[in-house]
């Protein structure tokens, strides 16, 4: 391969997540997202992502495929002390670089274990086995060392699967090593990849696409991405590592996206709906209580996932049965009998009852049919009513009709409830 072509490959990367638990639902792969974002800052684009179980032959096969299409391969997982940790053996077998105990790996591992008052057992001694021709990557957080090597023109780094360990090793060691390789390349240095993210709620993916038609011209090195989920549509603008773009051009496109999506933009960057709501509640020195039926505590859970939520979350109640709505919130039996538990009237009464009992600034309520059963001819699965009581006679009730399975309807319902609160708080800020 010509040197220039080999240099260009350094700008393309693949991640390989290793672990059978990633395939059977025991755990999700969060490492690849972090790796992609870290590599983007130095102009290296992740084009492929693979997941493979704890099988030595399978790991080797995936690595062999990856090295043919990417100049950088980052592997995570399979470096532990147990029998199912096979990454070291797989890399040695496919590359032909035999395993040998490395002094720096052994000493680093034993020093870390000594800090914890432990000595290495037989399984942990395996962690000091590193393929020949590889450099040892120290682990500043855990005991398992990583390693990096060049194989057939591809730079391969193997890191632990524990997220905190992987992140520390990427930032402190792997990224600097790749930057050094790029500096030595005859290929033009790549431009850092910039990715601007907008979190939206309230529009379908098709509606977002329509509103953004023509915002990015085909001649501009900016990729427009849309990703739909139960929490809305994520919109991204991503620059190219191979083409420079004037900052003012990117700024203009960002402003145009803001203008087109306006009120539907919940946040920019990785902030969640609950992050935004939490900041608004703190800013306005308001407190909140939540009364939930169909979401079963999901709204309260999301609110309290934000650090510092104790400054504004007073309480939450799961009032699932009709009796609970009456006993805990004071919703009258006659109101439920007349309109049904899933109704605008009951959502209103739930919010008011919760605010009065909690003595908070604002209360949210929700009642609906998450399915798959419970529907009637007039009240289908996905029918949800959300109430908000802000005191002084100020109440809002909204009707929604969501689709999807039970978990999706619950997630969308919680997002809609938090968005109703967000919009109400923004109106108070502007008043």
pLDDT tens digits for range 153-185: 999 999 999 999 999 999 999 999 999 988 887
3: pLDDT strictly greater than 60: no
Q: Which of 38-52, 65-79, 101-115 has the lowest mean pLDDT?
A: 101-115
| Residues 221-256: tens digit of each pLDDT | 999 999 999 999 999 999 988 888 899 999 999 999
Fold of 3-184: Molybdenum Cofactor Biosythetic Enzyme; Chain A (3.40.980)
- Report d(CA 201, CA 195) in Å as an integer: 20
293 CA to centre of own chain: 27
Q: Which of 6-15, 133-142, 397-406 has the lowest mean pLDDT?
A: 6-15
Q: Which CATH architecture has domain 273-430?
A: Alpha-Beta Complex (3.90)
What is the residue extent of each domain of the chain? Answer: 3-184, 195-268, 273-430
Terminal C-alpha separation, the chain: 65
- Smallest CA-to-CA distance from 16 within 55, 54, 57, 66 is with 66
How far are the Cα atoms of 52, 127, 158, 401 from residue 75, in angstroms, in the given order? 10, 16, 5, 43
1: pLDDT strictly greater than 60: no
**Domain 195-268 listed as CATH 1.20.58.100:** no
Q: pLDDT value at position 243? A: 85
């Amino acid at each position: 391969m010509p040197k220039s072509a080999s240099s260009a490959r350094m700008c393309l990367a693949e991640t390989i997540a290793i672990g059978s638990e990633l395939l059977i639902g025991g755990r999700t792969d969060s490492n690849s997202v972090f790796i992609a974002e870290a590599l983007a800052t130095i102009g290296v684009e992740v084009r492929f992502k693979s997941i493979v179980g704890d099988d030595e032959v399978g790991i080797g096969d995936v690595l062999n495929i990856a090295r043919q299409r990417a100049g950088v391969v980052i592997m995570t997982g399979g470096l532990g002390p147990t029998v199912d940790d096979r990454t070291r053996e797989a890399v040695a077998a496919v590359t032909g670089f035999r395993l040998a105990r490395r002094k720096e790996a052994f000493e680093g591992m034993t020093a870390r274990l000594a800090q914890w008052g432990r000595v290495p057992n037989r399984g942990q001694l395996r962690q000091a086995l590193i393929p020949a021709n590889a450099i040892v990557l120290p682990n500043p957080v855990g005991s398992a060392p990583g390693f990096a090597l060049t194989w057939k023109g591809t730079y391969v780094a193997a890191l632990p699967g524990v997220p905190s360990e992987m992140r520390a090793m990427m930032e402190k060691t792997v990224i600097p090593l790749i930057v050094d390789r790029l500096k030595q390349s005859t290929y033009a240095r790549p431009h850092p990849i910039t990715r601007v993210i907008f979190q939206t709620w309230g529009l379908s993916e098709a509606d977002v696409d329509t509103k953004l038609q023509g915002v990015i011209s085909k001649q501009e090195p900016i990729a427009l991405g849309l990703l739909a989920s139960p929490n809305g549509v994520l919109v991204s603008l991503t620059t190219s590592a191979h083409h420079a773009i004037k900052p003012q051009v990117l700024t203009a496109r960002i402003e145009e996206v803001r203008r087109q999506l306006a009120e539907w933009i919940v946040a920019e960057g990785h902030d969640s709906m609950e992050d935004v709501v939490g900041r608004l509640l703190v800013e306005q020195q308001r407190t909140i209580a939540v009364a939930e039926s169909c979401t079963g505590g999901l709204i309260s859970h999301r609110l309290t996932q934000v650090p510092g939520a104790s400054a504004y979350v007073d309480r939450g109640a799961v009032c699932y049965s009709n009796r609970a709505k009456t006993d805990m919130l004071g919703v009258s039996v006659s109101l439920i009998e007349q309109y049904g538990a899933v109704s605008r009237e009951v959502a209103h009464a739930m919010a008011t009852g919760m605010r009065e009992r909690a003595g908070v600034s604002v209360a949210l309520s929700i009642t609906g049919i998450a399915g798959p059963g419970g529907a009637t001819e007039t009240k289908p699965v996905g029918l949800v009513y959300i109430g908000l009581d802000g005191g002084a006679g100020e109440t809002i009730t909204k009707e929604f009709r969501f689709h999807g399975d039970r978990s999706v309807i619950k997630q969308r319902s919680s997002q809609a409830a938090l968005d109703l609160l967000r919009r109400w708080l923004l109106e108070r800020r502007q008043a």
